[in-house]
Structure 1
Amino acid sequence: MSHHDDEQAARLERARQIGLFRYMLIREAADPSLSGRQRGALVRKLAGEEHADPDGRRIRISRWTLDRWILEWRQGGFDALVPSPRQAQPRTPPEVFELAGALKKENPERTAAQIRRILKAQIGWAPDERTLQRMFNRTGLTSLRAPKQTEIFGRFEADRPNELWTGDALHGPRIDGRKTYLFAFIDDHSRAIVGHRWGFAEDTVRLAAALRPALSARGVPQYIYVDNGSAFVDSWLLRACAKLGIKLVHSAPGRPEGRGKIERFFRTVNGEFTVEIASAHGEVGREIKDLAEMNRLFTAWVEHSYHRREHSETKMAPLERWMAGAPFPVPSPSDLAEAFRWSEHRSVGRTGTVSLHGNRYQVDPRLVGRKVELVFDPFDLTFLQVRCDGADAGTAQPFQISRHSHPKARPETPAEPARPTTGIDYLGLIDRAHATDLSSRVNYAALHPDPAEPVETVDLTGG
């Protein structure tokens, strides 16, 4: 047997050993008699442990890789788990590996999948995720943090787009020393992000800035599912949903069932978007000047990257799956404006006046002694609509004004400009690609309120 034949036989044997390693790892979880919940528990357990590979190295296998191996085994048996024999010489240029290693050292939080995206955006090509992960394992660059163990729940998926939206808030990085928060809503059926907004506060104003454009562009869902955070239990949200015929559902305190998809999306945000933003602690990445830039870059990432790629569970791009159910009826501008006004109840005094947050207003004298509903724009307390027993009762005339906006309606303040850093700007690459693509794509205007309604023209970004 020639030397070449010896090498070929060695490569074939190694490929067989890898296939055997994969099969031994998944054989219990691949049992067809297991339920989806039982299989999920076994896969999570395997992903949380270290395993000895054919070379004797201690490695970790991600849950997603284990799921893929199980699927391949079901479709093609053992042969499907055996990789193609390796080439005698590596096909990945060493300078690409050097750049990948440098990106990992710059920010250890970057995953192999994220570094592959950066390489592809920067040089137009990148090795696959497994190749990069093997290189990280071999060079000691792999993160040693074990995945967090979480309670396991059964799976659920809405039957159609806009049947169920799930909303939640993510604590984000700091900009100019101020902490940011992301409000986002995900369509349960398609995994499309129907609304989103970064802000400097986790309050009802920032929540409205994410939800109102979503309803205007994507239509009205049947249900909105949220947790018990202060912004989500505010009476304003209950009123807005009631006006639009949306059933608002809150999860039980401490029980996360049903919010897994939005939490999974937030992990993607942290792994692909926020990981590329420089922090105050000196980490490399893009320095964000203000919230306007933050929201613009995030919109570019959602529309150009997240919405376009195939989702691991649905096997369709989120936007493509959501569009399969289109068109959806959207509320009229007047109905939307009415839903997003705030209201409070007050009793009319003997002099025919009412008080609201330090201001005094004159109302119809016939309302003296009665309890009325005051409907208003939280950013403009100079104009109030009055309702009594659900009927229109005119407007309240300003008598003494000391406050022009609601105490909870705090606009964002601009941040000081920051100098850009050197190195590869992944978010900038995505932003430029998205800007180039806008000429041929629909703009859902997710960050822009309806210009016809002055009630929503307040600039929350500070831009």
Structure 2
Amino acid sequence: MDGEERWRILRLHVEDQIPLATLARDTGVSERTLQRWHQRYRRDGFNGLDDHQRSDAGSRRTAAETVAFVERLALTRPRPSLATLHRLTVTETTRRGNPAPSYATVREIVRCLDPALVTLALEGPASYRDRHELVLRRRADRPNQIWQSDHTELDILIVGSDGKPDRPWLTTVMDDYSRTICGYTVFTGAPSAMNTALALRQAIWRKADPAWAMCGIPDILHVDHGSDFTSQHLERTAIALHIRIIHSIVGRPQGRGKIERFFGTINTELLTTLPGHLGPGSRTPTPSMDLPALDRAIGAFIAVYNDRRHSELGMSPRDAWVADGWLPRIPDSLEHLDTLP
């Protein structure tokens, strides 16, 4: 478990004042380990959490390749017994000319493995999902508590930059509580961290249109597990802005039903009215819109969507977000968002 993964757990105690005993119960990380992380964080800040090495019983640093060898065996199904693990490790380290670890050292390396990783490796995705995926996910009970971000390939052809037909993508950022669309970007080409960052930047900062009031820094950003969403750039930005990122497990896009329903609304209500729409069973249409024109059309539709009554909310998403009036957490200036392109 690297420093960023440790911080996602520890920040629940540091920022949300959740007791370490509660975190230990909910995450599977021992309370003693959490206390050690907290001491290192208070002493050295975030960098204090980014230490992958472990000490053996004699306080000597165990070689990284020995630790990796033990971890690899411990995550193999079926897992060998500790005695077998120790014997195989001694044989391997002797072959490599490294000091042989003690039985206690091997046991400590195994004990320090991330419980979620152990569950995934030894019991499979279903057990992982049941025990760990939703531990840190809460249903939003106020605006800007949880945002969701996702991509979709749109059912329309446009005139690309090279004059040829192109199929665009849409990235949106939705507030989980109010269903408002806080930010979006339309683009061509494969989804990337850049597209996610552009939509998130727009979502966070104040808009020129006063009717588009939604802004601020969310507490949680719930995203997919694609490479663009798991980029180090996005992770570091989230740490700087104090946003907790929660990823869906690969192949299990749980918690994104609301944003996927919005994508369906875009396809059925807007794109069907535009030239170049790709309908079921239709022939390939001749596109006539370019990317800026499609961007304007989607922007206008989002304004209508945010302001019209939502059947499940009983009010418009905008009214649900504004509620009785409250102050979102806003960066001091645009310069604070410079890490978001």
TM normalised by structure 1 equals 0.38
Residue 230 of structure 2: aligned partner: 233
DSSP 3-state at the match of 1:198: strand
Cα distance between partner residues in 2 of 1:288 and 1:300: 19
Kindly indicate which of the two structures has a greater share of residues assigned to helix: 2
Counterparts in 2 of 1:286 and 1:166: CA distance versus 1, 3 Å: farther
Corresponding position of 2:158:
175
Shift of 1:326: 3.3
**Alignment-derived partner of residue 181 in structure 2:** 193
Aligned to 1:204: 193
Aligned with 1:184 (options 172, 183, 188): 172
Amino acid at match of 2:150: D
Q: What CA distance in whole angstroms lies between the structure 1 residues aligned with 2:315 and 2:244?
A: 28
Deviation string, structure 1 residues 312-343 (Cα, Å, up to 9, x no partner) = 11111001111115331311225533432xxx
After superposing the two structures, state which structure 1 stretch, 156-165 or 280-289, moved more. Answer: 280-289
- Note the aligned Cα RMSD (angstroms): 2.6
The 1:252/1:276 distance shift into structure 2, 3 A limit, reads same
Q: What are the equivalent positions in structure 2 for 1:43-442 lying under 5 Å apart?
A: 157-172=139-154, 173-176=156-159, 177-201=165-189, 202-217=191-206, 218-279=215-276, 288-303=288-303, 305-324=304-323, 325-340=325-340
Which whole-Å CA distance do the structure 2 matches of 1:161 and 1:174 have between them? 35
Contact 1:197 1:206 in 2 (8 A): yes
For 2:153, the aligned partner's letter is H
Q: Structure 2 vs 1, CA of residues 238 and 288 (structure 1 numbering), >3 Å: closer, same or farther? A: farther
Cα distance between partner residues in 1 of 2:275 and 2:199: 24
Query: How far apart are the structure 1 equivalents of 2:284 and 2:275?
Result: 5
Contact 2:225 2:250 (8 Å CA) reproduced: yes
Give the Å deviation of 1:175: 1.2
Query: Does the CA-based 8 Å contact 1:162-1:187 persist in structure 2?
Result: yes
Superimposed CA distance per residue, residues 68-107 of structure 1 (whole angstroms, 9 cap, x where no aligned partner): xxxxxxxxxxxxxxxxxxxxxxxxxxxxxxxxxxxxxxxx
Counterpart residue type for residue 225 of structure 2: N
Cα distance in structure 2, aligned partners of 1:328 and 1:314: 21
Which amino acid counterpart does residue 275 of structure 1 have in structure 2? T
- 1-structure distance, mates of 2:291, 2:311: 31
Query: Greater share of strand residues, 1 or 2?
Result: 1
Structure 2 unmatched ranges of 5 or more = 1-133, 160-164, 207-214
Identity across the alignment (%): 34
The residue identity in structure 1 corresponding to 2:236 is R
Partner of 1:330: helix, strand, or coil? coil
CA distance in 2, matches of 1:272, 1:296: 15
Contact preservation (8 Å) 1:277, 1:287: no
Cα drift, residue 274 of structure 1: 1.8
Q: Which amino acid in the other structure matches residue 226 of structure 1? A: V
| C-alpha separation in 2, matches of 1:185 and 1:338 | 19
Question: Displacement of 1:260 after TM fit?
Answer: 0.8
Question: d(CA) in 2 for partners of 1:268 and 1:189?
Answer: 18
CA contact (8 A) 1:199 1:291 kept: yes
SS at match of 1:289: coil
1:336 aligned partner, one-letter code? H
The question of whether the paired residues in 2 share the 8 Å contact of 1:156 and 1:258 is answered with no
Distance in 1 (CA, whole Å) between partners of 2:284 and 2:310 is 29
Structure 1 gaps of 5+ residues are: 1-153, 341-455, 457-463
Structure with greater Cα Rg: 1
Q: Which amino acid aligns with 2:193?
A: T
For residue 225 of structure 1, give the secondary structure of its aligned residue in structure 2: strand
Structure 2 contact 148–222 (Cα < 8 Å) conserved: yes
On the 8 A contact 1:187/1:194 being kept in 2, the answer is yes
> Counterpart of 1:273 in 2: which secondary structure?
helix
Measure how far apart 1:283 and its partner are: 6.8
- State the Cα distance separating 1:200 from its structure 2 match: 0.5
Decide whether aligned partners of structure 1 residues 252 and 280 sit closer, same or farther in structure 2, where only a CA change above 3 A counts.
closer
In structure 1, distance between residues paired with 2:273 and 2:194: 27
Aligned equivalents of 1:192, 1:224: Cα separation in 2: 14
Q: Amino acid of the residue matched to residue 175 of structure 1?
A: I
Rounded to whole Å, the distance in 2 between the matches of 1:160 and 1:329 is 13
Question: What is the letter of the counterpart of residue 291 of structure 1?
Answer: L
Change in CA separation of 1:323 and 1:243 when aligned onto 2, cut-off 3 Å:
same
Cα distance in 1 for residues equivalent to 2:175 and 2:275: 30
The Cα shift of 1:296 comes to 1.0
Summarize deviations over 1:8-45 as a string: whole Å, max 9, x none.
Answer: xxxxxxxxxxxxxxxxxxxxxxxxxxxxxxxxxxxxxx
Where 2:143 maps in the other structure, the secondary structure is: coil
Supply the distance in 2 between the matched residues of 1:208 and 1:287 (Cα, whole angstroms): 28
Over 3 Å counting, the alpha-carbon distance change for 1:246 and 1:335 in structure 2 is farther
Question: What secondary structure sits across from 1:160 in the alignment?
Answer: coil
- Specify the SS of the correspondent of 2:150: strand
Q: Which amino acid aligns with 1:307?
A: N
Aligned 8 A contact 1:288 1:294 in 2: no
- The alpha-carbon distance between structure 1 residues 280 and 196, as it changes in their structure 2 partners (threshold 3 A), is closer
